[in-house]
Each structure stands twice: as C-alpha cells, then as structure tokens.
Amino acid sequence: MSDSALRTLADRAGILPEYVDQTGRETRVTSDETRVAILAAMGVDASTQSRAASALELLEARELSRAFPPARVIVHDSAFALPSPRAVLTLERGGEWRPGKELPLGYHTLAQGEETQTLIVVPPKCMAPVRRAMGVIANLYAVRSDANWGVGDISDLATIAEWSGEKGAAFVGVNPLHALRNRGHDISPYSPVSRLYRNPIYIDVAAVPELNECTDARALLDDPATQETLASLRASTRVEYERIWSLKRRALEMLHRTFIVRHRDARSARGRDYRAYIEREGTALVSFATFCALEDHLLANAKATDWPSWPEELRHPDSPGVIAFRAANTDAVDFHRWLQFELDRQLGAAASVARESGLGIGIYQDLAIGAAPDGADVWAFGHLFLRGVSVGAPPDAYAPHGQNWGLPPMDPRELVEDRYAFWIALIRASLRHAGALRIDHVLGLFRQFWIPHGMTGAQGAYVRFPTEEMLGILALESVRHRALIVGEDLGTVPPEVPGVLERWGVLSSRVMYFERESDGRFRPASSYPKLSLTTADTHDMATITGFWTARDIELQRMAGLIGTDESAAAARAHRDNERRFLVERLVAEGALKSSDAEAPSNAELRGAVHRFLCSTPAALVGIYLEDLVGEREPVNLPGVASELFQSWTRRLSHSLEAIATDLEVAIAFPDPVRAGR
C-alpha cells in the first residue's frame, strides 16, 4: 500500500522513513507493512487507505480542538508570553506569575478555560563536573564479604565507599539496583520488574532496626541450619539468587511483623519515617506493592505469575478485583512497601557514609533502558507501554537478523499526554541518594528501534522520541539533585547525537577497548573528550585480565559465538596484536615502564591501564572492582543462553576484607596523585 495518509500518520507518530545502517553505506527504508504494524501497536488502524485517512482526520481534528499541548518544556530565560489574556500561570511553589517577572525553574501549570498545560522550565545544562575525578564501579550482586548472604548488599556498598574514599576516589558506581524476581531467568539488572523500585535482595538483614526487637528473626539467624545455609551461600562461586532470597525473605517477613506491631501505626520515629515515605511515593508504591503481593499469591496457589495471563479482573491496578484483593491482603501488600522503605533507608545510610568518607560525588547509580513486559511497571502504567512491538537493534555484522530485546517500548505520544509524569518519576527515583546517574543506551532518548511482533529485525524501524523535552527534564532534575548525568552512547551514533548531549551537559561514555585508530592501535590519552566518563571495559565486555589472557575468546568459542577452531585461532592471533598495541600505548604514555613491557605481571598491567585512564582529560574515570581484583570471567556474555554461560551470577574471587589488604589490588589501583586527578 502506497498511501500519503499512511506516510503522514507514520511521520506524526515519529516513525522514521529510513535510517543508515551500521556500515554507514546502506540506507534501509521503512516499509508500509512495518508502518501499519507499528501504528497498530500504537492503537491506530491504518490497515487500508480509507482507515488511514480517517485516522489522520481524527488526529488533525483533535489537535485543532486544543488551545495548547498538555506539556511544554522551555529553557530558563527563553522568551515566554501567556497565550491569551484569559490564561493564568500558577507557579510550582504557589502564586500567580505576572508578565515581566522572572519565570523560575520548575513544573508550573498554565490554565485557559477548561484546559491546562504543564509548563516545565529547565536549566540549559545538567550539573557540570567541578573537577576531574576517579571512582570505583562495582557490580554489587557480585561482591563477596564475610557478612553478606552470598550476594552483595547495601552495607557492602557502604564498605566499598569507605575504602574507595581512603584511596582518593570521588564516587562509587553500581549496577542498576532495580527490582527483580530473583528466580529463574529473571536476574538481569537490565530487564527489571520495575525501574521505579529496587531489589530487596540488597537489604542487609543484620542492619534492619527491627532485628533487635524480633526474637523470631534472631532465633532463625542463630539456628544451626541457617548458619549452614549461609556458609554454603558465602562459599559459592555463583550468586544463588533463589536460595538467597528465600532465606532473606523468611527473616524479613518476621521483621515486618514486628514492625507492624511496634511501629507502623505508632508515634515512634521509625513509624513517622515510614508514613512519610509512603505518602511521598503515593499510588506508584501502592501499585508496585500490590503487584508483588498478587504475584506471591498466585505463585503460592500454583497459578500463572505472568500478569498478561492473570484472570482478566486482575490485569489492571484500578480494577475492582485488584482493589478487593488489596483490601483483603493489607499486610501482604504492606510487606512490599516496607521492603522498599527499608531499602531506601539503607541506601540513604550508605550515601551518608560515602559523603563522610570524602567522596565528593558519592554513589553513582545506573538506569536501565527498559522494563520486562511481564513486570510491575508495565502492569501499573499500561497506558504508556505498547504491546505488539519490542525494542531492539537493527541488523549488523554481529547480529545479521537484528536484536530483539523483548522490552516493550513506551509510546512517545502517551508520554507527552501524561505530561512526562513517568519520566519525571523515573529520574527522581534514580537520583535519590545519588551524586551521578548513568543512562543506559541514552540513544533511546533520541530514537528507538522497534520490531513488530512476528517480524525480523530487518523489518524494524526507528521511532523518534521527544529528545529536547526529555533531556530538559533530565537537566532540571540533575540540577535539583546536584547530580552529574552520564549517557551510555556506545555503538553506532547518529551524527547529531554528540552535539546535543554536549549542549545539555550530558557526559559521554568512552571505553578504552573501543578507542582505536583505523589500524587497531589504541588512541593516545589526549584524544579522550573532557566531557566523558572513561573506563577500560563495561559489564558486557571482557575484564582487563580476561582480555589479556584471551579468556573472552575461549568463552565465545565455547558458546558458539565463534563458530570454528580456525576462527578462534584467528581471533587469538588478532589478540596478540592487540596486546602488543596496548603495551605500546601504555609505555608511550608513561603508564608502564619500558623494562616491564616485555612481560608485565597481571597486576602491573592492570595498574598501568588505570594510570593511563587517569591521565586522560576525561572528567570522570571509572575503575571496575573486577579489574582491581583481576577477575578473568566477565559478568555477562551477551546473547548467550544461561545453559551455556550463567550471566549475572559470577561472584568476586576476593572478599572485601581481603581486597583491603591485597598487595596486587594495591598495585592495580592508580597512585593517590593520579587518583586525586
């Protein structure tokens, strides 16, 4: 079907007509079939020319009937005038704005007759780095300590912050702490149940205040069987999510019962703090907790836990069936609210330790690109998320059929209709107790690659997002929280993206492995941009030791990503050249002594890489805890089934107690002068 109404509808919906592939040479054109499928996912029937024309007519009539769109974002000090003498602008903090007065930053309400608009006044940039700084990045789930229960917890995060401060660091970064189910395949921090709330597996049970008041929980912890289980979990080389959460949950349920009796409705400071927390979180927390309680209930009764398969009366947070369930299961719902309250309290305490330890930036958090289709966010905010289409990536040399990540996209039109409320809530939740925030796949704020269900990646198309508005809100929350923003902009980047990110003050991501000349040699330190976070690797890549020993090539061959022994041999030969190039660069920059160039020890090599990173002009340098320790195994092998490689489960080989006194870790850490930047 070649139809101007269809093309116009698609353009209005943000569907791009074409894109240049990763080779930079081929232009892929969006087919009408793809346009129809994506529009259908958006609730627009454009399956015939007449239906497309009718849909376009309705859209235009709706736009004409409005005095103004539901939300508008403007930069502070931009020219602004009321749209008519009848319009009234009420400021966020109260009072009516008068022409001639300064329009302050914030979320204001413009009203004219029955219509209102949220007018969002934003700063021109995000918070800027005060000085160049170095920090430690930890995959918290992988952290080993003498006291944790087989998975890193918030008390471990505080310990890392304290130790990092002593080493001259300015921040401690963590993986996304988003809520997960902690069972089966639902363990990836980048495919969470919710991005608004966090994973209670990170709660340190020993730090919960109710433990001193709960004899049942203390008896559970003292029980020899519990101690035996804890010893097993602590000794394991893998994070055993299901066993850990099962034991933690037993203890936390006991502690919650004590909280109900002693604090929930009492005048104690703990009770007051709890009520203030749930009031601040509002309906979003109620919906999340209800979702979790419903899943628990259905799982206990051997019924479907995938909410699209739930009984019809339970598929919407405001349905009579859900309201009745919540009323009949108040303590079960409250348990999940209390978990988030305690997790928030512990994270706040860790942030205080970071400040007291001299970390000028503090905790650096991570925001995943999306949420699982069967998770709480999609259930609670169903009007925002689309079915019938998934977020992914177009075909490239590594994935010739494209990548389908299985994440449901948000409808950019509904995001605007909702006055960006979910985006605002998401950024605020992510910045709580944070001094910096990494936005995973920041290109998603520009455009997202959507693949209709039943189609291949080759049939997908890019959909445009309200970039300036979303970045403006990000800048406003950045300034209000006094937090830096880092955008993960790796891979093929459209030419306009770097300039836009720089204009908004968003730090770019630079990874040493990728910073190469055309002949494969590593680029000099001076070539790294100032407005960036620089690291040696990422959670999706080989560690420094894994790279140096070619362990990543072994794993790729084992998993079938490298198809033949001949290809693996070629990859190892290529790695020999890469190792030589790396040593040449480290010696040229003075990060590695010439005398050590022939056969540097593993610790010396890691230390040289970190000294090199700290010599770049980059505003932030992140050093992975895995690289300080010298881990060979990655935490994630993208695109590989769990039967072949257990991503997100590898624990550190060293405990935090051992790391603090380990000589090789000390050698791998950049010296205090360079670390202080």
Q: What is the mean pLDDT of residues 197-209?
A: 98
The band of 412, judged by pLDDT with boundaries at 50, 70 and 90, is very high
Domain boundaries, the chain: 4-65, 77-122
The band of 452, judged by pLDDT with boundaries at 50, 70 and 90, is very high
**pLDDT at res. 398:** 63
Residue 373 tokens read as 């289709």
Count the helices and strands in the chain (H runs, E runs).
23, 20
The band of 381, judged by pLDDT with boundaries at 50, 70 and 90, is very high
Residue 319 has pLDDT above 90, yes or no: yes
**pLDDT at res. 675:** 44
Q: What is the mean pLDDT of residues 540-545?
A: 95
Q: Exposed e or buried b for every residue in 228-254, given b needs 16+ CB within 10 A? A: ebbeebbebeebbbebbbebbbebbbb
Could you give the C-alpha distances from 402 to 30, 54, 113, 399, 412, in angstroms and in order? Answer: 15, 34, 49, 5, 23
Beta strands in 81-222 (DSSP E): 88-90, 106-112, 115-122, 133-138, 171-174, 178-179, 194-198
Residue 260 tokens read as 């109900």
DSSP output for 94-110: SSB--TTS---SEEEEE
Q: What is the mean pLDDT of residues 443-472?
A: 95
Q: Where are the alpha helices (DSSP H) in 301-420?
A: 320-328, 330-356, 376-380, 412-417
For residue 650, how far is the Cα from the chain centroid?
A: 20
**pLDDT at res. 672:** 55
**pLDDT at res. 203:** 98
pTM higher than 0.85 for the full model?
yes
